[in-house]
Chain A
């Protein structure tokens, strides 16, 4: 059964710093990996999708990398801003169907606070 772990569980940094959020997964048989942010009381906003054949994806100040063989992904946030404060979730999509595992498997998230 796929397990996704995110470290750290919480992080508080001053505005302007660059930071890295970590995600690891136990089963490398994945189709893709997706990073989301979740604001309090809201749904999930998709940030980046990395297909299993890709190494990284970039969107604005965000860069996500994927090392499928080692079961790791990182989300790099450059020049952090108070508006980046949210919970960041990593999720992997299965390569094979069935067994009740056709959806994304999520980590428990990193709660990020950017201090003004």
Chain B
């Protein structure tokens, strides 16, 4: 497709379960970003990849969060032992290069933790 795609669009899970969110960036974009949008916090940056490498993971909210990217394309964000405060919309973006280029966003995954 032409744009960034994310799946699932909606995810409802029970507290304590693990969830995996997927992002498929625009073809040819080497940089990929994960953000979280919640009512109280607005939009916050979580982690980025340059190729398959994530140089800085300090933006992740806790050690329950992890992300990987393989083949320089698809990325997955995994949240282990979900908590109610993890409920938010998780947005993925991609760009041609890190920091210098326009970022294009996907439609997001709405995560609800019961």
Contacts and interface: CB of A to CB of B under 8 A. Distances in A.
Contact of A43 (B56, B91, B99, B100): B91
Interface string A70-81: 000000000000
Interface string B4-18: 100000000000000
Contacts of A36: 105
A73 to B, nearest CB: 15
B98 interface: yes
B51 interface: no
B66 to A, nearest CB: 15
Contacts of B56: 97-100, 102
B20 interface: no
B102 A46 contact: yes
B54 to A, nearest CB: 10
Interface size class of chain B, counting residues whose CB lies under 8 Å from the partner chain: 20 to 34
Given A100-B58, A102-B99, A103-B33, A46 B42 contact: no
A86 interface: no
Interface residues of A, number: 27
A101 interface: yes
Interface in B16-60: 33, 35, 42-46, 48, 55-56, 58-59
A94 B99 CA distance: 7
Contacts of B59: 100-103
A104 interface: yes
Nearest to B6: A43
Contact of A104 (B4, B45, B100, B108): B45
- Among A34, A94, A104, A105, the most chain B Cβ lie within 10 Å of the Cβ of A104
Contacts of A34: 102-103
Contacts of A106: 42-44
B74 to A, nearest CB: 17
5 contacts: A97-B55, A99-B56, A99-B58, A100-B45, A101-B45
Q: Which 4 A-B pairs have the closest CB atoms?
A: A103-B45, A100-B59, A100-B58, A106-B43
Interface of B: 4, 33, 35, 42-46, 48, 55-56, 58-59, 91, 93, 98-100, 102-108
